[in-house]
Amino acid sequence: MTTTNQALADWVKQVAELTQPDHIHWCDGTAAEEQQFNDMLLADGTYKKLNEQTHPNCFLHLSDPQDVARVEHLTFICTENEIDAGPNNHWMAPATAHAKMDDLFQGCMQGRTMYVIPYCMGPIDSPISRCGVEITDSAYVVQNMRLMTRMGQAALARIEREGGFVKGLHSTGELDPNRRFIMHFPEELSIKSYGSGYGGNALLGKKCHALRIASYQAKTEGWLAEHMLILGIKTPAGKQHYVAAAFPSACGKTNLAMLIPPAGYVKDGWEISTVGDDICWMRPGEDGRLWAINPEAGFFGVAPGTAEDTNPNALKMLYQDTIFTNVAETEDGQPWWEGLDDRTPKTDWQGRPFDPANGPAAHPNSRFTVSAKRCPSYSPESESASGVPIDAIVFGGRRASLVPLVTEARDWEHGVLMGATVASETTAAATGAVGVVRRDPMAMKPFCGYHFGDYWGHWLGMQEKADHLPKVFTVNWFRKDADGRFMWPGFGENMRVLEWIIARCQDQVGAQETAIGHLPQVADLNTDDLDMDLGVLDQLLTVDAAGWQKEAESVTEFLAEFGDRVPQALYDQLQTLQAKLA
């Protein structure tokens, strides 16, 4: 395979001259190629075949113990002007970054094969989709990109038709943590990643392209690239709705995307479908609504905690055609992780005999990679070229106190403030301390490719591009009582909150006006067969004015970190909040 796109051909030639691979392989995306790569990865020990009876065509990959998560401190946005990257990003001058990376890439593929992966983020024929090419020396990355993107000949044909594409250059290098960098050049639509084989650092179509570069593309082209799931909800009356929701990693996003409603809802005829679990690209349609696609073709999910009682749909996907990374293994060659069941694994995520003294058997950020089409709740609309119309946007995070179960914004500008100041506790998905509360605007803190002030301004500016914008809500499934127990059952019961959200979008139910926004009346939430003390719902829907005054002060300090690029409209909304609290 070669290309008629001269810019692509020239770039591949330049990279080959720099990295000096022994061979160059253009990926065509065929089933025969997939089999060839699986055989190769098994032969060189990168893959281990799992139990063919219980998990046909499933593989286990154990990565370097020092290469198991995103490395935000080594991730840079490289814009000509430092201020454009914003205080939310680490910045490096493009010339400096290119020189540093090219020095690392010099000769790094000697003795290796260089793989050229043309891919499309989103349905091949969607006007919302965007294409890229990743060059890598990792066959493991190729196999993950095969599941996560529309990869191969059809993507190359679109690139040749359109001309433009995002350039991504990746090498695992020596897997030395001291020689590991992920550089993004949004003004050039390019990415350079060296020294890691881990998903978010190495699968350049994912966070690097679909969020950091795409968020910049979206700003310049007038759309939104967001860290959001897309969920379909069909009412018993047959009306189809779509919700986009943003949660930081490992805060239940995949669980919500694949939600199974309580039995009473299923009996009544409610249906849930999954369009995406992680990334959402939205653009204004001719009807004034936001239309969204999931740019990904697969799921790169966190394994620990995925179980029959938490996410049965996710679990059902994982018995065939799945890549498991850094999970444990049972005596009979099945993948295992904490929360799955009560079996004891034979080996841990480092391939050692399992010993509880060594810590968890599966790494807390161990992963599965699987095609979205394997999901029982998969929506065929995932392949729709036009995307799906979004009725509601939901922001959430882990807050043990203060934040109510669900709050509706008064209007779009209030909703942008709510999204911009949402906070959550950190998780194992990123390196560093776990359990620290940090503000994570729109769940985009690690992923926004430019200054947050400009990003919020772009969100506010959507009012001029679309006149039927979605209603905005915040949710908090994670409130705890004085004894540290979760007050809300979560998981499938979150359907009760979604029902209220959809009813609000249809103006079918009222709300109580509060200083922080519109909250449900307890009587307006469906509590049929809800196994909890309904008195707790009153607590979950109460506004602690003193606590929110402190929150408003904290928010003011947070916004000030972003200087004079913060839109005045957010400060106006904050003053309104403080006045209502007073």
E strands in 201-322: 224-226, 228-234, 240-246, 271-276, 280-284, 290-293, 298-302
DSSP assignments along 113-126, one per residue: EEEEEEEEES-TT-
DSSP code, position 212: I
Query: What is the length of the chain?
Result: 582
Q: Could you tell me if 272 and 496 are in contact, meaning their C-beta atoms sit under 8 angstroms apart?
A: no
Q: Where do runs of H (alpha helix) occur along 114-248?
A: 139-148, 153-162, 199-202, 214-221
Q: Could you tell me if 192 and 127 are in contact, meaning their C-beta atoms sit under 8 angstroms apart?
A: no
DSSP assignments along 186-209, one per residue: TTTTEEEEES--SHHHH-TIIIII
Q: Considering the candidates 251, 280, 375, 448, report the single residue annotated as catalytic.
A: 251
DSSP code, position 561: T
How far apart, in whole angstroms, are the C-alpha atoms of residue 31 and residue 412?
A: 46
Ramachandran sector of residue 481 (left: φ over 0; alpha: ψ -120 to 50; beta: rest): beta
Q: Could you tell me if 191 and 209 are in contact, meaning their C-beta atoms sit under 8 angstroms apart?
A: yes
Which residues are 115's β-sheet partners? 25, 136
Q: Clarify whether 251 is annotated catalytic.
A: yes
* CA pseudo-torsion sign 459, 461, 467, 473: positive
Q: Could you tell me if 272 and 261 are in contact, meaning their C-beta atoms sit under 8 angstroms apart?
A: yes
Pairing of strands 181-185, 224-226: unpaired
Q: Maximum distance among all alpha carbons in the chain?
A: 70
What's the Rg (C-alpha) of the chain?
23
Helices (H) and strands (E) in the chain, counts: 17, 30
H or E element that contains 438: strand 437-439
* CA pseudo-torsion sign 385, 386, 391, 397: positive
Q: Say how many C-beta atoms besides its own lie within 10 A of residue 235's C-beta.
A: 16
Q: Say how many C-beta atoms besides its own lie within 10 A of residue 359's C-beta.
A: 12
Which residue carries 């860290």 as its tokens? 227
Q: Could you tell me if 405 and 540 are in contact, meaning their C-beta atoms sit under 8 angstroms apart?
A: yes
Could you list the active site residues? Answer: 251
